[in-house]
Amino acid sequence: MNLKKLTDIMAALRSEKGCPWDKEQTRDSLKPFLVEETYEVLEALDEGNPEKIKEELGDLLFQIVFHCQISKENNEFDMSDVIEKISEKMIKRHPHVFGKTKFKNKEDFRKHWEDEKKREGKHRDSILEGVPKALPSLMRAHKLQKRAARVGFDWEKTEDVLKKLDEEMKEFKHALKKKKQSEIEDELGDIFFVLVNISRFVGVNPEDALRKTISKFISRFRYIEMKAADKRKNLSEMTLKEMDMLWDEAKAKETGK
């Protein structure tokens, strides 16, 4: 099997005698699948299962091939054009690998990267431009903060950000006392934004951290459900204390303590 085999399969699926579902898909209708497959790849990466990673990467690749086939039908471009474009771009952006250019440090390389983008016609009026609006909010906040930090708009140390978190928590509590929903929403958003800044300072991707915590929550809650089922009890019949004990059991099993 190779990439041409996959593009041929895609062409067959979209042909006159192909699959009715595949034939009716459009760029817009495929958007949710592209996002879904991307997150399934992330989930597989978190689990660290090579077979699952291989499968999910294949599903994501199929979505890319799907979009290329639609573009080919529109006489715009095809898969080979996409591959040629990204290959050309990567070679130009890495002259220290594919040429004789030498960079003193990462900063010099980043400047070259940005300069190359400008030469490609991607001039930006603001350093914050180019961060997709469709990104998950935590990821987008993280990227925007990194952009601003490049030009010195940043705290000096983690302790400074923690002080800002304390400040935002006080403002949030004040908004809660006033019971004004719009202010509560604003202040809660500020807290999230500061937490993203803290994650950046300690070298943690906030989106990855939250995704892993969600997985832990699901695993531990499933443990509570299974234990309740063993006792032939509904969760609604259990006390919070009982569920907390099972939660601690699940946590102990994870950590081996």
Reduced to 3 states (helix: H, G, I; strand: E, B; else coil), residue 15 is: coil
Q: Residue 8 has which token pair?
A: 């041929």
pLDDT more than 90, % of the chain: 74
Q: How far is CA 7 from CA 55, 61, 192, in A?
A: 17, 10, 43
Which 8-state DSSP code applies to residue 237? G
| Each residue's pLDDT tens digit, 49-78 | 999 999 999 999 999 999 999 999 999 999
Q: Whole-angstrom Cα distance, residue 180 to residue 185?
A: 9
pLDDT of the residue at 150: 85
Q: Sign of torsion, CA 232 234 237 243?
A: positive
Mean per-residue pLDDT over the chain, rounded: 92
**Mean per-residue pLDDT, 78-100:** 93
Homologous superfamily in CATH for domain 137-204: MazG-like (1.10.287.1080)
Whether this prediction's pTM lies above 0.85 is answered by no
pLDDT of the residue at 255: 76
Homologous superfamily in CATH for domain 3-77: MazG-like (1.10.287.1080)
Domain extents for the chain? 3-77, 137-204, 208-255
pLDDT of the residue at 139: 92
Q: Do the domains spanning 3-77 and 137-204 agree at the CATH topology level? A: yes
**Mean per-residue pLDDT, 190-196:** 97
Q: Sign of torsion, CA 10 15 18 24?
A: positive
| Each residue's pLDDT tens digit, 128-178 | 888 889 888 999 999 999 989 988 999 999 999 999 999 999 999 999 999
- What number of other Cβ atoms are within 10 A of residue 123's Cβ? 9
> Does the pLDDT of residue 227 top 90, yes or no?
yes
48 against 111, higher pLDDT:
48
pLDDT of the residue at 119: 75
